[in-house]
Structures are given as structure tokens and as C-alpha cells.
Structure 1
Amino acid sequence: MIPDPVKIIVAGGFGAGKTTLVGSVSEIPPLSTEEVLTEASDGVDDLSGLDRKKTTTVALDFGRITISTRHVLYLFGTPGQERFWFMWDDLARGAIGTIVLVDTRRLESSFAAIDFFERRKIPFIVAVNCFDGAPRYSADEVREALVVPDRVPIVMCDARDRDSSKIVLIRLVKHAMAASPVRA
């Protein structure tokens, strides 16, 4: 039996930890299109608060998780920079839902992803990647700052940690299933 594919998108702003989340939870070595940041990004990419960032995703990240003999999750991480957003429509096609990964040091970089998935009516959750040394806020404070409706779950996570990333995925799948019409 060939398992049914379940497509999930991991989106968010530049440097939010999308590649890290996909890599931490994938059962296969993730496909990553990380490239070294060059002088070409000077004046284009906002690196404020990302002093140690040396690479960036230029197309997508891809990972896989086998849930059972019937279901396999396929994870697609989006590039975060605005100049690569043209790919988001294609990446999002067929997805059951999206994790919008948020960095509290750069909340403003999350608005575009939230708007994108709201406009397309694709179920999403907000996952706050709790970076070391970053300001800590409650889910209610994050919800208010991002103007996210109450129906959208907000979870705290550490994208580096496999178990934490799994909890985020479980929350997204449950949310997407609750948001989807019942199929006969």
C-alpha cells in the first residue's frame, strides 16, 4: 500500500528557524537549499538581530516523517526573504496547513506569512521559536501583537529540539483536521 501524502508548510520571516525546524524533525536528511549570504544581500536582507546568520534558504527545505503505513508527512520550508515569496503559491498548493514560525526579536517579519495564509484560507498555527536570549512573551501577548484571531493556535517551541518540533506538527495537524470539512 502506498501511503497518503500529507503536505505541511513551514513559513515565517527571514531567520525565524524554518530550516532548523524541518531538519530537527525529519526522518531523512533534509533537502536544504541553503546558500551562503553574500554581498549581494547587503541592503536587501535585514540582518538586524541575526548576527550569527551566515546562510539563507533560496528555494525550499524538504523533510519527511512517516506517521504510519497509511500516512506520510511531507514538510516544505519556505524561503523567508521577500525576493523569494513568488514561490510560496506553488509551495502552498495542496497543503493541509502551515506552521508560521515566529521570532519575537523580529515580530514584524511574521505579518507577511500570516497575511498570505489567511488570504488563501489555509489553516495555520503560530509557533513562537524561543531563541536563547530573546524576549519571552505569553501566547496572548503574541496573539495581540500579531493581531491573530482566537481560533488560531499559538504554541511555544524550540525549533532545534525534535520533540518540541513534533508537538508543533501535532498541533497543526489537529488544527487543520478541525478546520477541514468532514469527508465521507
Structure 2
Amino acid sequence: MDSATSEPTTGQHLAPSVARSVKVLVVGAFGVGKTTLIDSVSEIEPLRTEEQITTASVGIDPGLPEKQTTTVALDFGRLTVSEEIALYMFGTPGQRRFWDLWAGLADGAVGALVMVDTRSIESSFEVLDQLELRTKMPFAVVINQFPDSPQYPVERIRAALDLLPTTPIVRCDARNRTSSAQALVQLVEHALTFPAFQKAPA
């Protein structure tokens, strides 16, 4: 799956060798970097549904002073991860009030990339609960490396999030294409071990 870390394709069309398209979710709490990751890695112009954050969200959504916009429906991008497989990435809104959208976005997906910010790791607890409640799909956890993120050992994070030993945990800089692509490859390799991947439409 080396092609995921190569330069992005300049065209909008899939390479002729791609025989399989696979849908994955990118989920996480508000402000963890979902839109940034899809932007950094997509080989096509990403679709975004971002709106300006207004005073109407005060007391409803978490407050992040540096964040001026938020996803209200989905983010969408595409990444060819091997000569045969292309990923279609669907980023979900992080706010609790949009979680009802997850069920529809998850339809047909084979796995999820769960983004975590160690500056507020507790915000991931409900996200993981919702993912398991609404989708039952395999997932990999990605620790997005913000400049001021605390650095915890992987096993401490696994224990804090109550993850199975088989759940992949990877560190990532969501702004970096290669780093984001490698995280997605980890998810695909994990999803390959589940029957749902084998049933995914070509």
C-alpha cells in the first residue's frame, strides 16, 4: 500500500488499476482535526460543509478560541491507498447535536478512524460509545499531535480509552499528508481482518 504516501493525483478520476472502492468514516470530538486530516490527504478537492461558529453555539458546543468554523454535515475526500484500493473518506461532525447523522454516514462503511486529542482525552469517551452504539464497525485510534499535546505512552492511552489489545493506536500530524495517509493505511489493514471488508462493494 505504498501509493498512499506518494504525491497526490492531479486528476479527478481513479487510476485504471483501481478495482475496489472502500468507504471509511473519520470521527472524533469537536476540534480534533477531522477536516484537517481529510484536507491534507485527499487527492481530489475535498467537499466541506463548514459554517462560521456564532454566539448561538455558546453553551451548546465546546469552546475552542482558535476554531472559527465547524462541520455541520460531513467532510468528503478520496485517497488511493494501493494500486487496487481507493478510500472514500466521510468525516462526521463532532458536536453531540449532530450525532444522529452518524447512522446514515456509516451505511456501507467498513471501518472508522477515531481521532483523539490528548489535551482533552475525556471528550473521546462519548465518541467511542456512540461509534459502538450506532455502527458496530472496526476502528483505529489516531492521536493527533498538536504542538502543545501531552505525550502519553500508547498503553496508557489504550487503558484510558478502554480499548481492546487488537485496536490499532497510531500517532499522526493531521496537517501532514504522509502521516495522515499512514494512519488510514493502518485502518485499512485492521479492517481487512473483519468479514465486512470482504463484503464491501467493489
TM range (shorter): over 0.9
The 3 A distance-change label for structure 1 pair 91 and 183 is closer
CA-to-aligned-CA distance 1:149-179 (integer Å, 9 cap, x gap): 1111111111111010011001000000013
Moved more, 93-102 or 107-116: 107-116
Residue aligning to 1:107: 121
Distance 1:20 1:183 in 2: 29
Residue aligning to 2:164: 149
Partner-residue secondary structure (3-state), 2:71:
strand
Identity of aligned residues (%): 52
C-alpha contact (below 8 Å) 1:12/1:113 kept by paired residues: yes
Residue aligning to 2:143: 128
2:162 pairs with 1:159: no
2:71 pairs with 1:57: yes
The code of the aligned residue for 2:181 comes to K
Question: Paired residue for 1:175, among 160, 173, 190?
Answer: 190
2:160 pairs with 1:138: no
Gapped regions of structure 1 (runs ≥ 5): none
Name segments (4+ residues, structure 1) moved above 3 Å.
67-70, 181-184
Distance 1:80 1:161 in 2: 21
Question: Paired residue for 2:102, among 78, 88, 100?
Answer: 88
Instruction: Give the TM-score, by structure 2 length.
Output: 0.84
Instruction: Give the TM-score, by structure 1 length.
Output: 0.92
CA-to-aligned-CA distance 1:53-94 (integer Å, 9 cap, x gap): 111000000001134564321000000000110100000111
Partner-residue secondary structure (3-state), 1:174:
helix
How many residue pairs match? The answer is: 182
C-alpha contact (below 8 Å) 1:117/1:123 kept by paired residues: no
Distance 1:165 1:42 in 2: 31
Distance 1:166 1:183 in 2: 21
The 3 A distance-change label for structure 1 pair 183 and 25 is closer
